[in-house]
Structure 1
Amino acid sequence: MSLVDKIVEEPAKEELDRINAELEDATPQEIIKWAVDRFGDGLILACSFGGISGMAILDMAVKIKPDIDVFYIDTDFLFPETHQTKEEAIKRYGIKPIAFKTKLTPEAQAEKYGDELWKRNPDLCCHIRKVEPTREALKGRSAWITGLRRDQSSTRRNVRPVEWDYKFGLYKINPLAYWNEREVWRYIFKHNVPYNPLHDQGYPSIGCTHCTSPVYGSEDSRAGRWAGTGKVECGLHIKLPQTESSSQ
């Protein structure tokens, strides 16, 4: 049972298999169009203004549904370049991205949990500053669009275009599931899509200032996230069974 009020029922595995079989050869734009037609205003797009996948999807989505709802999570620790990219996207696409953030200020978090929680317990820090605000963002929604790709990390190798999100109790749409990084960059350059300038400084994956570092050589593109901690996901996209403890 999800911790948010579900407004759509979980589909049977056979139904998800059928949908993904139908979309197996679909373009990202066709997947987005399918989601728009299926979920209408119940659909919302998550864009961090950090990753290239999210920017490519944003460009595609506004061409299909110009008034699509867009949200981002303001952790209070975003890079200035991320805010810059958001402002460029607002000017370019005429969007009004909705910011969601925890009510716990950085100062209040330090007072409650101690200084630099991200160093001592990055899972808890992400839960407070990313997972719970996302839960709020998805309330009342039937589906959300994400930038997940199979090539991003070992934890994402089985991503499919349409999934059921047990954590939040709605459909998860991954239009770029089968694309690789080169294909995303090709789209970015072909369509002159704005992207976070930190990508040109060795940051293939961009999160919070305290937990993001450059990546070198042949390292995994997400190796710069929580480097040295063993952590590879913020908690938003970890697959869960059908029940979840509120402490997770």
Structure 2
Amino acid sequence: MIAKRGILELIYNRDKVTSFNEYPFNIPALRNLSTLKFHPKVTYLSGENGMGKSTLIEAIAVACGFNPEGGTVNFQFSTRSSHSPLHQYIRIARAPIRPKDGFFLRSESFFNVASNIEELDKEPFGPPVISHYGGVSLHEQSHGESFWSLFTHRFSGNGLYILDEPEAALSPSRQMAMLARMHDLIQQNSQFIIATHSPIVMAYPDADIYELTEDGLQKRKYTETENYKVSHQFINNYQRMLKILME
């Protein structure tokens, strides 16, 4: 399937790297990376902690023009400059039709996005920014409710949505609801790039899954991923698993 919208491919300019022994170029995700093709609907990055999911998805987002701490391409705040220089070493090939909407959700810094929205709304110019997020301060909602307000109110379709561990604040039932919301937005020509540990979030059927391992990125089927296998084994044999873990 050839995408007409969104982003098509990541090209990693390895020739520009001066040392593969330094961060971020020494992370496992980059070990054998040269290109990464994006599914026109959903691309998942999965894998253990420390394999480079967040570093890679951050670089993709920044290379696409998003603020490193999250938000739309119009957010320009900086609370703490902690992003890696990896975005300077990648190129994003884009489809002929550009998305009209977009958002980078970084779960660990969404608080900073909420704070910046409140700062912006202190200025008496135009409609309040928070009106695009459901009209209620994100700080006056639980972490999960504020995430859900983003999905239901701010994401409007025909967009590129890059999400780093969106399950961090969502219950299992809300994660399933997120899949339904994703499907609605995909039907409206949206594209998702998602880094996740959740076998629920990762279950969208029309998607590509890349598992990040010590050997680099490996394309997997859903049931082949480590997150699925571990969760499936635990839920179906939890008493035995608990006995093994607590011996």
Q: Same fold (TM over 0.5)?
A: no
TM-score by length of 2: 0.28
TM-score by length of 1: 0.28
